[in-house]
Amino acid sequence: METKKLALPLVLLFVGSLLGLVFSGALIYEHNGAKTQLGSTVCNVNDTSGCDKAKDSAIGKIFGLPLALYGYLFYGGVLALAAFVAFTPHEKAVQLLWWGAAAALAFDIFLLLYSLFVLGALCRLCAITYVATVTLFIGAFMLRKRTETLIKPERTRLAATGGFTLILLAVFTSGIFFHTDAVSRKGPQVQGKTDQEKELREQLALEFYKQWKSKPLLRLDTPKSGNKGSQKPVVTIMEFADALCPHCKSMGIVLDAFVKEHKDKVKLIFRHYPLDNQCNVAMKGSFHVGSCGLAVAMECGEAQGKFWAMHDIIFANQEVFFRNPVTDKAVESMAQSAGLNAAQLTACFRSQHTMPKIKNDVQAGIKIPIEGTPTLVVNGRLLGGVPLQYMSDVLERILFEESNR
């Protein structure tokens, strides 16, 4: 038999099926909400991409399973049949390849039209599987034509049956594994009273993540003081805050809880941005009078290795300083309550030798520029506009995405 003329169509079938397996495998993860490097590269995270629209569409899942899983099994079946034909060009196997490729092409044309005219966007990952299907169709068509004149073998070779069975088993097993693994790696689950509220919070967290990811990287220095959390963080949160800002106090509680929950992956850096013209040249008038002094006191706590102890007690006494000035006696009392060497901290506070650190933080904030406190810079990108009640959800989404990069 002149089996050499089957080489090209078989190559097309192998290439098309392998291409389909790779990208439908990535789609299994994407459709289950677990990100992949391949998906992040192909699908533009800065857009409301067609990949997300396809995932959330009415045909994104069939019988509770992602459409991509069925595609993965199809491409695996084609690969198994192509291997079978390579050993034994059996007529039924060739016909099955042909009709399978034709049906897949028709279905992909439907999916393409659905994406363009119903969803209004093209899923780029899906589009690559369409290319794989076209490749399969051409290969199957050529194979069908070139086997018409071949003398078909009367017996099926054992190698053909064995290869077909092993490939099919491997594809089925890997497909189920990818699906279950993707489900286990799904994005963070948000809290909500109803399913509708949970879904809304998930969507908001994803949108804020996309907005954050689209922001340019800021070139900011990293101070050694005011740090807590992981030494090798996945996510670094730089918080610019004012000791007399009530919103900063609330934000601090959220950030502290987030760092404690992910202390092996998250690092928090507190930076001073007092809304006080005594140390902030961007302030044209007096506003939070005394916040510069409280910032100095925090840095004096750092000198004793107890920045966060001083930070916490200052914010706990925030309302006291709305009515009373920041005095040596008040700072000494807080230091004593926080377990610091009160005399040493008071001497540091009076000397004001930590003021250059405060002004350096202020200059970094002006460079951003800061429009209000608190302001968060996460992994070098400004995270803005997030309501406090959604901040934990957004940070969880950022941590999840950055962990899977």
Same structural domain, 137 and 12: yes
Same structural domain, 236 and 308: yes
Predicted confidence at residue 153, as pLDDT, reads 64
- The answer to the question of residue 30 being in a domain is yes
Same structural domain, 134 and 268: no
Over 60: is that where the pLDDT of 358 sits?
yes
User: How confident is the model over 355-375, as a mean pLDDT?
Assistant: 96
Predicted confidence at residue 48, as pLDDT, reads 47
Residue 220 contacts by C-beta under 8 Å, 6 or more apart in sequence? 238, 364, 367, 368, 377, 380
pTM: 0.62
% of the chain surpassing 90 pLDDT: 68
Same structural domain, 161 and 294: no
User: Where is the domain boundary, 184, 207, 241?
Assistant: 184
- The answer to the question of residue 255 being in a domain is yes
Indicate the helix (H) or strand (E) that contains 17.
Answer: helix 7-31
Q: pLDDT tens digits for 103-112?
A: 999 999 999 9
- The answer to the question of residue 393 being in a domain is no
Predicted confidence at residue 46, as pLDDT, reads 46
**Residue 46 belongs to domain spanning:** 3-184
Same structural domain, 158 and 222: no
Same structural domain, 163 and 248: no
- The answer to the question of residue 396 being in a domain is no
Tokens representing 143 are 């194979």
- The answer to the question of residue 204 being in a domain is no
Strand partners for 304: none
Predicted confidence at residue 193, as pLDDT, reads 60
Same structural domain, 106 and 63: yes
Closest Cα partner for 312 from 333, 298, 332, 293?
298
Phi-psi domain of 75 (left: phi exceeds 0; alpha: psi -120 through 50; beta: other):
alpha
Over 50: is that where the pLDDT of 21 sits?
yes
Calculate the average pLDDT of the chain: 90
- The answer to the question of residue 322 being in a domain is yes
Q: pLDDT tens digits for 293-338?
A: 999 999 999 999 999 999 999 999 999 999 999 999 999 999 999 9
User: Where is the domain boundary, 184, 206, 229?
Assistant: 184
Same structural domain, 222 and 180: no
Predicted confidence at residue 47, as pLDDT, reads 45
Closest Cα partner for 42 from 27, 58, 28, 55?
27
**Whole-number Å distance between alpha carbons of 225 and 227:** 6
Residue 68 and residue 31 in contact, taking contact as beta carbons nearer than 8 Å: yes
Cis peptide before 233 (omega within 30 of 0): no
Q: Give the range among 68-77, 151-160, 222-231 with minimum mean pLDDT.
A: 151-160
Place of tokens 């941005």: 273
CATH of the domain at 138: 1.20.1440.130
Same structural domain, 133 and 252: no
Cis peptide before 374 (omega within 30 of 0): yes
Residue 376 and residue 163 in contact, taking contact as beta carbons nearer than 8 Å: no
- The answer to the question of residue 59 being in a domain is yes
Same structural domain, 152 and 271: no
Same structural domain, 180 and 229: no
CATH of the domain at 288: 3.40.30.10
**CA 248 to mean position of chain CA atoms:** 26
- The answer to the question of residue 201 being in a domain is no
Same structural domain, 126 and 242: no
Q: How many domains does the chain have?
A: 2
Q: Give the range among 56-70, 122-136, 189-203, 382-396 with minimum mean pLDDT.
A: 189-203
